[in-house]
Amino acid sequence: MINSSKKISPAQLFFMIIQTQIGVGVLSLPYTMAKASKMDGWISLALGGIAVQFFILIYYMIMKKFPNKIVKEIIVEVFGHTIGKVFEACLILYSIIIGVLILNLYTRILDRWILPETPNWIISLLLVVCSYFLAKEKLRVIARFNVIVSSFLLIFLVLIIYSLKDANIYYIMPIANTGWKSILFGTKDAIIALLGFEIIMFLSAMTTGTLKQKIKFITAANIFVTLFYLFATIASFLFFSPVDIQLIPEPLLYLIKAFSFKIIERTDILFLSIWIVSVFTSFVSYIYWGADCVKGVFNSKKPSRNTLLMLAIIYFLGQLPFDTDQSMDYLKKIASYAGYSIISIPLIILPFVLLSRKGKVQINED
């Protein structure tokens, strides 16, 4: 059982989930959803949020039986230590894949928009070095940082709201014109866009409060992120025509760049400055999760060493030539498969957990 003095509060859990989910993909989200379901991509995104809530409810059913254990500990209880070690090794691999994807997308966007003359290995190194100093700290420190920087999301919202003055509602009319088959098919892309919620498998047992309190805050985080993404996606759909939106990889940046103020000439630079913080927090969450699994697999009790190992692997893998659209699409596809595999774990183990005689529902946790 985890010492309560090392746990975070339910409110901190709320902000941790938000900052893990809202990361590098927010800039290209409208483009991704437009490719998946055209101008009805926002409906697919809403359905994706509902699907995520289904996974959260599945996890709630598991946690009712093992209220104070994270998923890797539950797997050890039900399937034994060998399967538990294999699962932890898979989590390390998953964290590395997501970390490499974040690092490459972050580098590519900064290279195109701000630092075209700076070598990509330096841009990557800056994120990795900064991440080390936060990821090696205790969970409470990371959670407090996430709470503080979440206020920056308000600037995101203000800039997006301002863009609505040029909105054209007819771009998304008629609603569901694409057909429900395409809309439902696009839900799979929406779920990948919402990845980050799976960190509840690690954080929920490291949070104080009753199980119902935790689920309420987890649900609130899912609703917030879904609405935030919906707002950003619909705003882009209302600004760009159905043809244009499928030709612009980072619609939000082009949308914000179209506006300037007396004291701010390049609003896209301001937008990117805030976005970098979101990328940083999301990256740190996966590094911390992976480093914790390294501790379990290799019995290494030095957080700084585990964190350094994770970052070193991700950094050097990130220097592989993912400089073409084809190679980046391949990396995204690998990350998508890895994401589906991880979020399906609770669904797979649920029958075994319910049939297991181990574990006991604690009344005070329910």
Give the Cα separation of 93 and 87 in Å (integer): 10
Residue 5: the pLDDT is: 62
Q: What is the DSSP string of 298-309?
A: H----HHHHHHH
Least confident of 118-122, 125-129, 171-175: 171-175
Contacts 24+ apart (CB under 8 A), 358-363: 358/77, 358/78, 359/65, 359/66, 359/69, 359/74, 359/77, 360/65, 361/64, 361/65, 361/67, 362/67, 362/68
Q: What is the pLDDT of residues 29-46, one digit of tens each?
A: 889 898 888 888 899 999
Integer angstrom CA distances of residue 14 from 58, 218, 223, 279: 18, 6, 11, 17
Residue 300: the pLDDT is: 79
CB contact at 8 A, 186 and 41: yes
Give the Cα separation of 310 and 132 in Å (integer): 10
Q: Which of 49, 259, 8 is nearest to 144 (CA)?
A: 8
- Residue 8 pairs in a beta bridge with 207
Residue 323 has pLDDT above 70, yes or no: no
Integer angstrom CA distances of residue 46 from 22, 37, 40, 295: 16, 12, 10, 37
Name which residue leads in pLDDT, 20 or 165: 20
Name which residue leads in pLDDT, 168 or 51: 51
Q: Cα 162 to the chain's mean position, in Å? A: 26
Query: Going from the N-terminus, what domains does the chain have, and what CATH number goes with each?
Result: 4-347 (1.20.1740.10)
Q: Which of 320, 353, 336, 357 is nearest to 100 (CA)?
A: 320
Name which residue leads in pLDDT, 363 or 250: 250
Q: Cα 156 to the chain's mean position, in Å? A: 17
Residue 348: burial class (beta carbons within 10 Å; 0-12, 13-18, 19+): exposed
Residue 116 is classified by DSSP as T
CB contact at 8 A, 349 and 62: yes
Least confident of 155-159, 182-186, 308-312, 359-363: 359-363
Residue 97: the pLDDT is: 93
Query: Considering the chain, what percentage of its residues have pLDDT values greater than 90?
Result: 34
Q: What is the pLDDT of residues 169-207, one digit of tens each?
A: 888 888 888 888 888 888 888 888 888 888 998 898 889
Q: What is the dihedral of CA 116, 251, 161, 110, to 10 degrees?
A: -20
Residue 1 has pLDDT above 60, yes or no: no
The mean per-residue pLDDT over the stretch 209-226 comes to 92
Q: What is the pLDDT of residues 139-150, one digit of tens each?
A: 999 999 999 999
Residue 364: the pLDDT is: 41
For all residues of the chain together, what is the average pLDDT? 86
Q: What is the pLDDT of residues 56-106, one digit of tens each?
A: 999 989 888 888 888 888 888 888 888 888 999 999 999 999 999 999 989
Residue 2: the pLDDT is: 57
Give the Cα separation of 104 and 25 in Å (integer): 12
Residue 125: the pLDDT is: 93
pTM for the whole structure? 0.90
CB contact at 8 A, 193 and 25: yes
Question: Widest CA span of the chain, in angstroms?
Answer: 67
The beta strands (E) that lie in 21-165 are given as none
Name which residue leads in pLDDT, 163 or 101: 101
The mean per-residue pLDDT over the stretch 325-345 comes to 87
Give the Cα separation of 239 and 248 in Å (integer): 12
Count Cβ atoms below 10 Å from residue 272 Cβ, excluding itself: 20
Give the Cα separation of 51 and 351 in Å (integer): 19
Residue 170: the pLDDT is: 84
Least confident of 204-208, 236-240, 266-270, 306-310: 266-270
Give the Cα separation of 226 and 196 in Å (integer): 12
Name which residue leads in pLDDT, 13 or 363: 13
Give the Cα separation of 347 and 352 in Å (integer): 10
